[in-house]
Amino acid sequence: MGYQLADGTELALDVAFSTPDGVQRPANWLRLSTPRDRELAGITWVADVSNNYDQQFYWGVDNPKDLDGLKTLWKAKQDEIAASLLNDSDKRVIKALDEATTFAEFKAAKPANYTTYRAAVRTACNTRQTEIDGCADVAALKELLTGAAQVEQDGEMVANPNLATAWPDPVE
């Protein structure tokens, strides 16, 4: 990123330069000038997008990591997330099991909403792992896991169809 003249000439800080109309500027001019001064001189700030890449998925600009390795990593992360989500309800299930003297007592004491939630977590994990396996390239994998919730489609904002299946809401 840096300052640039209207003709595309890049300007370095602390280096004297001339504008296309022949005006000489001292080395400290860019540091001391106001945004309005730079605007009047035809100087703009240009962000360097060549260094913008997601290091989770890419080694560098246009240099994706190994797709199969990423799939293995992200599928394992789904297992970790599912285990974490299930961990919160484990204590309820274990308590019901500890207090029961028969399997029938256990089934009766175990809250049904936890059974439903735990099954939904496992289903979401399996579905997400299948979705990860279905990605054809690193860009698709990145979109699946980190894409925006909404995208523009035909001039309207709609739910992003390329996102991974959502995890179920926790049981309260």
How confident is the model at residue 19, as a pLDDT? 87
Indicate whether 77 pLDDT > 90: yes
- Determine how many CB atoms are found less than 10 A away from the CB of residue 5: 16
Indicate whether 58 pLDDT > 90: yes
- Cα–Cα distances in Å, from 34 out to 28, 30, 31, 45, 51? 12, 8, 8, 12, 27
How confident is the model at residue 73, as a pLDDT? 97
Beta bridge partners of 150: 159
Indicate whether 113 pLDDT > 90: no
Instruction: Note every long-range contact of 17-25, with CB atoms under 8 Å and residues 24 or more positions apart, other chains counting.
Output: 19/43
Please state whether the predicted TM-score (pTM) of the whole model is above 0.85.
Answer: no
Tens of pLDDT, residue by residue over 6-49, are 888 899 999 999 988 889 999 999 999 998 999 888 999 887 66
What distance lies between CA 27 and its chain's CA centroid? 41
